[in-house]
Amino acid sequence: MTVYLIPNLTKPQAAPTAAAAVDVLCAQGARVILPADVPPEPFAGQIATIRELYNSVCGSYPRLEKMSEARKRAIRARLRAGYTVEDFQRLFEMAEASDFLKGKNGRNWSATFDWLTADANMAKVLDGNYVNRGSAAKESEEHADRRPASDFYKQFLPGAGDGVGDKGIR
């Protein structure tokens, strides 16, 4: 048995079928709104997909249990601004790959779904601002052939021994 509550009635009406409920309510002069009469929520399909993407891709982050109105508004705003579901997937993949966003940042801070979907933050993540940097050993290997700038300038100092500084070049 399904119970249909209409605000203008003094008590709820119960009926075994939806058709019987509609008949009872219409007979009492109530306006009956059927699900087909209610406009669909904008971007409802994309919002559900984005939630599923976050939960499947971002395994290192807390699971998204509640899709609040504020979260839906943020997602709709990003979609209206031109972001796509594919952009959200890339956002979540980049966040999952980022040590900094997952909390390895010396601040004991990690990103959340709300932080990731904020306009400025989403743009920064997608721009690559939080991509992991190479390790210090790897960076030193890449720059092993570079000398410090002080070595370069020493050659121009008087008495450097190579004769350049002794020739009066200033």
Residue listed under structure tokens 């796509």: 84
- The answer to whether 112 touches 103, Cβ cutoff 8 Å, is no
For residue range 33-56, what is the model confidence (pLDDT) as tens digits? 555 555 667 789 999 999 999 999
**Would you state the pLDDT for residue 156?**
77
CA distances from 27 to 14, 19, 103 (A): 14, 12, 61
Residues contacting residue 85 through CB under 8 Å, at least 6 positions apart: 46, 49, 50, 53
- How many CB atoms are located within 10 Å of the residue 123 CB? 14
Residues 6+ apart with CB under 8 A from 151: none
Q: In the prediction, which pLDDT does 86 show?
A: 97
Residue with tokens 């002080």: 150
Which of 167, 81, 70, 169 shows the shortest CA–CA distance to 113? 70
pLDDT of residue 133: 87
What is the structure's pLDDT at 10? 40
* % the chain with pLDDT above 90: 50
Residue 137 host element (H or E): helix 136-142
Average pLDDT over residues 115-143: 82
> For 93-128, what is each residue's pLDDT tens digit?
999 999 999 999 989 899 999 999 999 999 999 999
First to last CA, the chain: 98
CA-closest candidate to residue 113, choices 147, 88, 138: 88
Give the count of beta carbons closer than 10 Å to the beta carbon of residue 102. 16
pLDDT exceeds 80 at position 152: no
